[in-house]
Structures are given as structure tokens and as C-alpha cells.
Structure 1
Amino acid sequence: MMNHKPSCPQSGFTLIELMIVVAIVAILAAVALPAYQTYTQRAKFTEVIAATGPAKTAIEVCAQTGGKDCTKSANGALSGAVATNIVASVEVSADTAGGGNNEKGPWIITATGTDEVDGSTFIMKGELDNGRVKWTNNPSDSAGSCVTNGIC
């Protein structure tokens, strides 16, 4: 019998090469998954932040037109319009601890997310400044849990 050698030697990947590729893909997935989950949480939380819009607008209009109870106006603008599967509630109050009142502020808007965003809260403070309302989203007394959770 004749010894027959193939004219083209077989080529391909060895088992160890395939295992190395699988290990690299697994490491990359392990690093990317937590980053992706944080990204999706942040994206969902933008709905909670956007839900403060009607309250902000109502306070600004009330303050600029000399309204008497801007807190009531803001809560009226919210009246059930913000509850979704991501937004649990949005509430407006006067910052009475800072000497404020319903007419001239400062006002505190607290938006709370559902379990979809770990129940995180977003707090804004609005202060009347030369006829305009100046908003800060990180008041010194409380920043909301979204800051500590890293999603806002």
C-alpha cells in the first residue's frame, strides 16, 4: 500500500485557541454587563426627571405673574399626569425650613421613581431671583437618592 498524504494539510483552530477566545469573550461580557445595566437605569430615570417639567413651568408662570399660591398651582399642574410605570410621584412643597412660603418660594420639587429605577428620588429647588425662578438640582440639604445611586 502506498502512503497517501493529502495535498492540502488540514487547518483550523485547536481546542486551546477556541478556549482562549471563549474566555476573552466571557471577560468582556462580565465587564460590559454592569456598565450596560447602569446605562439603562440612567436612561429610564430621565423620565422621572422630565416629569418635573409641568411643575417647574407652573411655578415659573405663577411667580412671574404675581400668583398667590405657586405651590398649589404646581401641584395642580401635576394632578395625576405623571404616574407611569417608571414615575411613582412628583410633589411640590414650599421650603418652609429655609424661611420660604408658597408665594415667593423657595420651592422643592421631589420626583420619585418606581422599582424600575430602584425607587430613586430627584429633588430640585427653585428660588425667585430678580423675577425669574432659578433651579438647582442638587440642593445642599438633600440631593435625592439618584445622586448616590449614580443615575442622575
Structure 2
Amino acid sequence: MPSTTSRQLGFTLVELMIVVTIIGILSSIAVPAYHNYIQKSEITAGVSTASALTTNIDLFIQENGKFPPATDLSEIGATATMSALGTLSLLPDTEVAEQGVLLFEFNATTSVSGKKVQWRKSATTGWQCIQDAAEHIKGCQQGTIM
């Protein structure tokens, strides 16, 4: 007498639809979280790149009595394009010789294109970091960059 039971050879359409739905739900959560992670890591890299040069600028000020000139980053051991994420520039204060700004601007290949990180040197309060890219970046407050 032949057996009436048959073996299942694959997945049913309902099972496949359930799997696709689960993958879609997980993706809708993971993709924005990943984008935020990339954005914060790029901002942190920009903050760190500029921060590393503040000591060099302090040494330049001690030796020369003024903030480095805007025309030559090599005076502080840097180049404008030393980071693939953006460009560096110096903006000496026209009124107080020991003050100025070290500016890092993100380029178009980043997730924060056109945003900036600014390290401002004050003769009285020292270095202050301001960035206009994201909230809650450790060591660099969010604000408006001039």
C-alpha cells in the first residue's frame, strides 16, 4: 500500500514573505543608526585632526609672539589637505596677535559635507571647539561658526 505522506521540498510563499518582512523591519532600524554612526565618526575625526594641531600653534605663538599666518600651514607642521575628510585653514585675529581660529571644513565626499569644526584660540580662555555638524560630540560643543 503506497504512503500518503509527502515530503516538503521547499519553503511556502507565506514563510518567505515573513522572512522578507523581518529583514525589512531590521533594515529600517539599522540603516539610520549606521548613518548616524558614520556621521559622528567623521565629525570626531575632523575634531581630532584640528585638535592635534593646537599644540603646534601654541608652540608657534610662544616662539613668535603671534598666531601663525593664514598663508602657510607648514609653519605648524600641517597642510591644508592633510585629511581626506576636509581642508584646514588658519584665520589669525587682526586685533590680538595671539588669537585666531583653526578651521576644518568637511568636503563633499563626507556625510557632513560643508559642515565645519572650529578651534578658537583666545589669549585669556585658551582653546574652544565649536562645530555645526551634530549634537553630542565629546569635547566640541555644537554652535554657529562665523
Q: TM-score, normalised by structure 1?
A: 0.66
Aligned to 2:79: 80
Aligned to 1:47: 45
Partner amino acid for 1:120?
Answer: K
Aligned to 2:102: 109
SS at match of 1:60: helix
Q: Does 1:91 align with 2:89?
A: yes
Q: CA deviation at 1:85?
A: 2.8
- For 1:82 and 1:49, locate their aligned partners in 2 and report how far apart those are by CA, in whole Å: 15
Percent of aligned pairs with the same amino acid = 23
Structure 1 unaligned blocks of 5 or more: 139-143
Deviations 1:62-86 (A, max 9, x none): 34x3632223398321552643432
SS at match of 2:64: coil
Deviations 1:72-115 (A, max 9, x none): 3983215526434322x21122345xxx5223x2x221111211
Partner amino acid for 2:88?
Answer: V
Once the two structures are superposed, the pairs formed by residues 47-66 of structure 1 within 5 Å of their partners are 47-53=45-51, 55-63=53-61, 65=62
Bigger Cα Rg: 1
Aligned to 2:64: 67
- Which has more helix, going by share of residues? 1
Higher relative contact order (CA 8 A, sep 6+): 1
* Cα distance change on mapping 1:112 and 1:29 into 2, 3 Å: same
Structure 2 unaligned blocks of 5 or more: 141-146
SS at match of 1:58: helix
Aligned to 1:135: 127
Q: CA deviation at 1:32?
A: 1.1
The answer to which of 41-50 and 20-29 deviates more is 41-50
Partner amino acid for 1:101?
Answer: V
Q: TM-score, normalised by structure 2?
A: 0.68
RMSD: 3.3
Q: CA deviation at 1:28?
A: 1.2
